[in-house]
């Protein structure tokens, strides 16, 4: 029999949140999206590009002050080429604008 006591639920939740945040920082798009100043953000993204069809998605959370805001953005579109950087750039700009508006609306400053 082991002398080790089982972890408390609080300890397990704390460890789980840390792992979740670490995984969220692995997002390959987050550096492309200008975030509002003064926020910490975690996100996970996905994308598909095949001839004529494209998908981008990003979901996560941002923290400013003591306020968490969780978000998800998805876009599907068709284009005649394998890549469509103009649409991707507009999508990321729309995300940046949206998150800035949310922060401005909820900030206690």
Q: Is the pLDDT reported for residue 2 higher than 60?
A: no
Q: What's the domain range around 20?
A: 9-106
83 lies in some domain: yes
3 lies in some domain: no
How far is CA 62 from its chain centroid? 8
82 lies in some domain: yes
1 lies in some domain: no
Which of these, 31, 41, 42, 36, lies nearest to 104 by C-alpha position?
36
* H-run or E-run covering 2: none
Q: Is the pTM of this model over 0.85?
A: no
The predicted-structure confidence for 56-74, as pLDDT tens digits, reads as follows 999 888 999 888 999 999 9
Contact call for residues 60 and 71 (beta carbons, < 8 A): yes
Domain count, the chain: 1
38 lies in some domain: yes
2 lies in some domain: no
């Amino acid at each position: 029999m082991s002398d080790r006591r089982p972890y408390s639920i609080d300890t397990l939740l704390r460890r789980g949140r840390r792992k979740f945040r670490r995984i969220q920082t692995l997002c390959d798009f987050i550096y492309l999206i200008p975030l509002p100043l003064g926020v910490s953000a975690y996100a996970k993204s996905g994308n598909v590009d095949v001839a004529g069809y494209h998908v981008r998605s990003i979901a996560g959370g941002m923290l400013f002050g003591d306020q968490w805001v969780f978000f998800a953005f998805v876009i599907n579109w068709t284009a005649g080429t394998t890549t469509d950087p103009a649409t991707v750039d507009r999508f990321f700009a729309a995300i940046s604008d949206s998150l800035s508006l949310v922060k401005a609306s909820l900030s206690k400053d």
